[in-house]
Amino acid sequence: MVERRPLLTLLSHLVLVLGILIVAFPIYLAFVASTHTRDEIVQVPMPITPGSHMVENYTAALTGTGSTQGSAAPVGRMMWVSLVTALVISLGKIAISLLSAFAIVYFRFPFKKLVFWMIFITLMLPVEVRILPTYKVLSDLNMLNTYAGLTVPLIASATATFLFRQFFLTVPDELVEAARIDGAGPMRFFKDVLVPLSQTSIAALFVIQFIYGWNQYLWPLLATTTEDMYPIVIGIKRMIASGDAATDWNIIMATAILAMLPPALVVVLMQKWFVKGLVDTEK
């Protein structure tokens, strides 16, 4: 801040508060809706203060006993599927990318350039451009409706590998030489020195990939057909039946709040690493 301009500061706070209101409003509304009965919400305008049916609604959502015509899948089960998917994708991606980046930076082997470019090209092949054939591969391998089918196709990404590669390139050469003289072989060095030094990158990547895994929509849509394997983001959409009156909006909103909780928790708790990692990754 260069000069003291109290008016401008006031304006800044106002704008930011307004921004937060816009950002938070849908979520607040969802929360309010999740605490009323269906009939209370369906009449316009719906109340904008919380009601008294919170426990009832959330229980119904988690156990799948709502009377909606859309879908009555238990949210608890779907949250579990989402959690497993997100964890497998984030941890798996980190592990695989660490190994690949290590090989690319610290070894020389034939066709290395080819391997590098192959990984790079996957940046240009998001799942959206290969949906039909990838579905077919999954189906041929009998991986539909399995956790493997939900996670493995998404577990190899170039961004994580490049992030680690970039970081490894900044580790001083002498550290490796000292380790070599100390008698450490490559995997020893990887485990004792490289991975501990990469902690910040790993943390940041975990946040980003957990959210990525949790929010996956198109892929699970293709890869699962049975209700008990739906992640929650798909389940929630299916709850919306075609007629507004028939839909249990209050249960749906409860589900929405539940669906938002784990990623929000991860982001808020790991905010420091996440912000640093996000900006550092892309820049």
Nearer to another protein, 4 or 55 (CB): 4
Contacting another protein (CB under 8 A), which of 52, 107, 117, 226?
Answer: 107
Residue 129's CB is within 10 A of a number of other CB atoms, namely 9
Least Å distance, CB 230 to another protein, is 11
In terms of phi and psi (left: phi > 0; alpha: psi -120 to 50; beta: otherwise), the region of 50 is beta
Contacting another protein (CB under 8 A), which of 59, 112, 142, 228?
Answer: 112
Residue 91's CB is within 10 A of a number of other CB atoms, namely 16
Does the footprint of another protein cover residue 99 (CB under 8 A)? Answer: yes
Q: Write phi, then psi, for 34 (nearest 5 degrees).
A: -75, -5
Does the footprint of another protein cover residue 182 (CB under 8 A)? Answer: yes
Contacts of 98 (CB under 8 A, 6+ apart): 164, 190, 195, 198, 202
Tokens of 231: 């992640």
User: Dihedral of the CA atoms 248, 251, 255, 261 (nearest 10)?
Assistant: 140
Nearer to another protein, 67 or 264 (CB): 264
- What part of residues 6-35 is at the interface with another protein (CB under 8 A)? 8-9, 11-13, 15-16, 19-20, 22-24, 26-27, 29-30, 33
- Find the part of the chain contacting another protein (CB under 8 A) among 50-58, 64-72, 73-81, 167-175: 167-175
Residue 145's CB is within 10 A of a number of other CB atoms, namely 15
State the DSSP H helix or E strand holding residue 267, giving kind and residue range, or none if neither.
helix 249-269
Contacting another protein (CB under 8 A), which of 6, 49, 128, 226?
Answer: 128
Contacting another protein (CB under 8 A), which of 89, 223, 254, 259?
Answer: 259
Contact characters 205-244, another protein, x per CB under 8 A: ------x--xx-xx--xx----------xx-xx--x---x
Q: What angle do CA 208, 214, 219 make, to 5 degrees?
A: 110
Nearer to another protein, 64 or 153 (CB): 153
- Find the part of the chain contacting another protein (CB under 8 A) among 55-63, 72-80, 99-107: 99-107
Nearer to another protein, 55 or 132 (CB): 132
- What part of residues 55-94 is at the interface with another protein (CB under 8 A)? none
Instruction: Compute the distance between CA of residue 13 and CA of residue 25 in angstroms, rounded to an integer.
Output: 18
